[in-house]
Amino acid sequence: MDPRILTFADILVNYSSGVKAGDKVLIQCYGLSAKPLVKALVRKVYEAGGYPMVDLRDTSITREINMGASEESLEYTLRHELNVMKDTNIFIGINASDNIYELSDVPLEKSNLIAKKSAPLSRERIENTKWVVLRYPNESMAQACEMSLDSFEDFYFRVCCIDYEKMSRAQDRLVKYMQNTDRVHIKGPGTDISFSIKDITVIKDDGRYNMPGGEVATAPVKDSVQGIVSFNTPAVFKGIVFENIVLEFENGKIVKATSNYTEKLNKILDIDEGARYIGEFALGLHPHIRKPMKDVLFDEKISGSFHMALGNPYAIADNSNRSAIHWDIVCIQTPEYGGGEIYFDDVLVRSDGLFVPEELQLLNPENLA
């Protein structure tokens, strides 16, 4: 077995998940290309004294299920999945789909119905299990990055097996800084937006929730978002690649939304009232991720980026918004992507992707790598 996979599995089981004796661990994987990692995870879970349960799925079969889904069929399947999740301590979710566009022709009406019906399952996983989710470095990911598979695997394992203890210590400084912040003001090409994060919990992702780690996140006070934001990174959602998303806000609510698929974008935003509010605001800071990959788990960690999630917040950083969706959309502010500034309480905190205050400069890529 590839020693990099064993090292990665060890990180996921013993660092990210912290598996202990007697833990019931659900390993759910979409795509068969990740079988080597699944096998390594099973081995590591047993070594830690846990009980692994494996759920292998295929995205093409998921498409078939989704195309014919009804309220009744979803209630049946999701009831059983919810029971399994309630009997799970730790969840490790792997996406190894061979085609990121496999679900692109599922009608949005079906997708919205599935999202609504799946909300209790998602809440159970996020709120009541220790979880980590990730992608697997297969041909599909390599193609999206316009790289050979060998080169992409080298990049992937360098990114995912970074020194997370070092990253975590540096993130603590930004967490403290944001905890003492009220107003956030972001400026850049097509962007002039402000909001409050006062009294909202600030959390760090240091490889214990998403893999790779590399962000510090909170949420805006729900009705405080004002202005306009233009996102310059492709956002894949429900198998559709949205580009040039521009959102305009009044009193926290999206009042105008445009993109290359404006009609589809607004159908997603109309899934429920909460989808037009922001559930997360975060800064990306992984030193090895510098350009979009059409994969949100990597793109939201791009050094010098920020992202906002439409819809539901994380329970640990709750701004009281509720929605069936949580959709992260990314804007890069490095000079190559147009630059920009972020101010906390009128103090310039990041300029063209680099942190300015001395106590935060440890988070700049040359110091964090």
Position 50 confidence tier, pLDDT thresholds 50, 70, 90 = very high
CA separation for the pair 160, 288 (Å, rounded): 10
Closest CA to 236 of 362, 111, 328, 347: 328
Prior bond of 212 cis (ω within 30°) = yes
Residue 363, pLDDT > 90, answer yes
CA separation for the pair 257, 125 (Å, rounded): 30
pLDDT higher for 123 or 277? 277
Residue 27, pLDDT > 90, answer yes
Position 369 confidence tier, pLDDT thresholds 50, 70, 90 = confident
Query: What's the pTM value of the predicted model, to 2 decimals?
Result: 0.86
| Strand, helix or coil for residue 312 | coil
Rounded to an integer, the average pLDDT of 46-56 is: 97
CA separation for the pair 93, 76 (Å, rounded): 22
What pLDDT score does 145 carry?
87
Task: Provide the pairing of β-strand 191-196 with 341-344.
Answer: unpaired
Mind listing the domains of the chain with CATH numbers? 3-160 (3.40.1830.10), 164-368 (no CATH)
- Cβ atoms of 358 and 174 closer than 8 Å: no
Position 334 confidence tier, pLDDT thresholds 50, 70, 90 = very high
Sorted by sequence, the CB contacts under 8 Å of residue 343 that are 6+ apart come out as 183, 184, 185, 186, 187, 349
Hey, what amino acid is at 158? Answer: R
Scan for tokens 């290359």, then name that residue: 260
- Average pLDDT of every residue of the chain: 95
pLDDT of 98-112, one tens digit each?
A: 888 888 899 988 988
What pLDDT score does 239 carry?
80
Among the residues of the chain, which ranges form H helices?
A: 3-10, 35-47, 59-67, 71-86, 108-128, 139-144, 149-160, 164-179, 262-269, 296-299, 365-368
Rounded to an integer, the average pLDDT of 86-100 is: 94
Residue 148, pLDDT > 90, answer yes
Position 41 confidence tier, pLDDT thresholds 50, 70, 90 = very high
